[in-house]
Amino acid sequence: MINLKGKHIYLRALEPEDLDFIYAIENDQSVWEISNTITPYSKFLIKQYLENAHKDIFEAKQLRLVICTPEDVAVGLIDLFDFDFRNKRAGIGVLIKDEAHRQKGYSNEALELLIAYSSGHLDLHQLYCNVSEDNKMSLKLFKNHDFEVVGLKKDWNLVNGAFKNEYLLQRILK
């Protein structure tokens, strides 16, 4: 049995009812730097995305899960992207939507659950992530889960008129 439930959160698939939650995240300019977004998304496009969210990871090459509290409050998202089954790897990213829900261990637990799922269920060999050099909290989170910095991409992202470096982190699972 696949266990996507932790002590303080659980992970679940996207549902049509997540439209407003996803819309708020995708249109929050404060997180566009993390997602490399430069334009807002319409509710129409997000609704279409949710209608196709039922596709499995082998077809869609990505998996987006909602991070929920035991009270069924959606607090964030965790993603596998660039899923490459042949080479047994995927990118991983996590976001907690509101400041009030950050630094409560939700990202930590969600990452732990998705790493176990990636290794045990998807049979992945490695995960990687890209983290801005100045995102100290995310760097700490991934390093605490045995991700190693394997590279620095200099002047990688243009943010508010200035270039920022980005780290590439990797974890070999097995």
Q: What integer best gives the mean pLDDT of the chain?
A: 91
Q: What confidence score (pLDDT) does residue 1 get?
A: 44
- Asked whether residue 91 carries a pLDDT value surpassing 60, the answer given is yes
CA distances from 83 to 27, 56, 60, 174 (A): 25, 11, 8, 17
Residue of 89 and 44 predicted with greater confidence:
89
Q: What confidence score (pLDDT) does residue 120 get?
A: 94
> In order of start, what are the domains of the chain with their CATH numbers?
10-125 (3.40.630.30)
Q: Which band of pLDDT confidence, cut at 50, 70 and 90, is reported for residue 5? A: very high
The DSSP output letter for 5 is B
Return the percentage of the chain with pLDDT > 90, whole number.
Answer: 68
Please state, in angstroms and rounded to a whole number, the distance separating the CA atoms of residues 40 and 23: 9
Q: What confidence score (pLDDT) does residue 2 get?
A: 60
Q: What confidence score (pLDDT) does residue 118 get?
A: 97
**pTM given for the model:** 0.91
Q: What confidence score (pLDDT) does residue 155 get?
A: 96
pLDDT, tens digit, for every residue of 41-63? 888 888 888 887 778 888 888 99
Closest among 130, 127, 118, 143 to 57, alpha carbons compared? 118
